[in-house]
Structure 1
Amino acid sequence: MKGVAMIFAVVLAVVYLAATPGDAISCGDMQSSLSPCLGYLTGGGEPSESCCGGVRSVAGSLQSSQDRQTACNCLKSAASSYNVQPEIASNLAGKCGVNVGMTVSPTMDCSQVS
């Protein structure tokens, strides 16, 4: 769960700093967009282009603080389902060419996301 929380924090940071105009995204849509990243997050190597496309898609879909808080909670709720390696997850944004520009934590309080 800790590892998935880390991926959530990384994706949330990407969303916070690199959001572009788009429609709001549901938890199901977000999970679908990020599903190509699972192999990378659990085993390492390099994220696929479809994974990075999913990261960019999610980032572009979350515009408001409420959107980002919702995304935070969606990803945290999925955290217990996967064996994500936190050290690999923390590199996802950079591997996809997105500058996170902030420290992320697997214990992030979603209500504090702005």
Structure 2
Amino acid sequence: MKGSMRVAILAMIIMALVMVHPVEGLNCVELAGMLSPCLDYLRSGGEPPEDCCSGVKKAQGAIQSQEDRRNACNCAKSAAGQMKVRADAASDLMAKCGVSTISIDPNVDCNT
């Protein structure tokens, strides 16, 4: 019985460690998935759809550190240049969705 109690306690400690272990930083594939509903808006302008703003807010929640923010910025900057997004739509997106975490501007300096 003492052995099974030790195993149970060890299992609980491991579960607690797994539950509080920080999530790895946001990567470009994940960010692209979150922001993909914004692509039409970023190319055409107008008003971003609700699922776009939901993705933007989800991306904001995934950014936990300055390094995450810088990585997300670099991913968004690269994608914006490749997908030829409108600069005005990109610069307005975060404000229209009520967040200020990342920029999707191909000219932004992600180190500041």
**Coarse TM-score class (shorter-chain normalised):** 0.5 to 0.7
**3-state SS, counterpart of residue 109 of structure 1:** coil
Percent of paired sites with the same residue: 47
* Count of residues in Structure 1 that have an aligned counterpart in Structure 2: 89
**Structure number with bigger Rg:** 2
- 1:63 paired with 2:64, answer yes
Q: Which has the higher contact order (CA 8 A, sep 6+)?
A: 1
TM-score, normalised by the number of residues in structure 2: 0.67
1:86 counterpart residue number: 87
Matches of 1:31 and 1:105, distance apart in 2 = 14
Structure 2: 5+ residue runs without aligned partners? 1-21
2:21 corresponds to 1:38: no
The alignment yields a C-alpha RMSD, in angstroms, of 2.5
Give the residue type in structure 1 aligned to 2:54. Answer: G
Partner deviation per Cα, 1:14-46 (whole Å, 9 max, x = no partner):
xxxxxxxx8432210100100100101111121
| 1:108 match | 108
In the superposition, the TM-score normalised over structure 1's length comes to 0.66
Query: What is aligned with 1:95?
Result: 96
Could you tell me whether the CA contact under 8 Å between 2:26 and 2:62 is conserved in 1? yes
CA–CA distance in 1 between the matches of 2:107 and 2:26?
23
Partner-residue secondary structure (3-state), 2:54: helix
Structure 1 residue runs without a partner (length 5+): 1-21
Secondary structure of 1:91 counterpart: helix
